[in-house]
Amino acid sequence: MSDNTNAETKKEGCAGCDCGGGVGAGGSLPAVAPQDARRGFMFKFGAGLLGIGGLLAAVPIVGYIVGPARSRYRNEWVDLGATTLYPSGQTRFATFLNPIRQPTDGDAAKTACWVRCVETGKFQVFAINCAHLGCPVRWFEQSKLFMCPCHGGVYYQDGTRAAGPPPRGLFEYKWKVEGGKLLIDAGRLPGLEESV
């Protein structure tokens, strides 16, 4: 209360001069006698409450962000169409909608792969992603090679590494033929840690 009065008096006294008003005035804290015991308890109590509340709030926040890292996404069998689409001895481009997709994925849910029909009824289905750093490999029918546009990885028609930096051959999908259709076990983006 006394502080207030002081400030008001000062302000009045100040009007009209160019000292800059009350800058710096009223900034000092009143010297209140510390009520040590009570304040010590209140402080600890407050810190404890805040800590508990913070933890409670952090659980959903952290859980929301790290959720995707913990979730177990299941691959599904995806239909790549009739086996007759893939003539024997040839490698064909195929696309499918990723079974693990979200409403906002848009075109990104589309996925491509290379289907090689080794002989009738026997397939190899390669992920589009280069085993080096994931760029899309392209098939060259004439030289029977897959080439990557990023860092120059090259693979033979059976997916084995031919040249360049890839540490391994192309990733392969598991496949099966059911009712004349070629199905592959697809979903997660292939990577070195865990193949498709």
* Interacting span for another protein (CB under 8 A) from 40-48, 53-61, 83-91, 135-143: 135-143
Is 32 a binding residue for another protein by CB under 8 A? The answer is: no
Structure tokens that stand for 193 in this block = 């840690």
Instruction: Give the rounded distance of the alpha carbon of 196 from its chain centre.
Output: 18
State which of residues 2, 5, 28, 104 lies at the interface with another protein (CB under 8 A): 104
Is 150 a binding residue for another protein by CB under 8 A? The answer is: yes
CA distance 128 to 6: 78
CA distance 192 to 129: 11
Q: In terms of Cα–Cα distance, which of 89, 73, 86, 133 is closest to 113?
A: 86
CA distance 88 to 117: 5
- Site map for another protein, 57-76, x if CB under 8 A? --------xx-xxxx-x---
Q: Smallest gap, in angstroms, from Cβ of residue 148 to another protein?
A: 8
Q: Smallest gap, in angstroms, from Cβ of residue 47 to another protein?
A: 24
Q: Which is nearer to another protein, 15 or 33 (CB)?
A: 15
Query: Rounded to 5 degrees, what are φ and ψ at 119?
Result: -155, 170
Instruction: Give the rounded distance of the alpha carbon of 169 from its chain centre.
Output: 25
Is 147 a binding residue for another protein by CB under 8 A? The answer is: yes
Residues that bind another protein (CB under 8 A): 11, 18, 20-24, 65-66, 68-71, 73, 93, 95, 98, 100-112, 128-129, 132-138, 140, 142-145, 147-152, 154, 156, 162-167, 187-189, 191-194
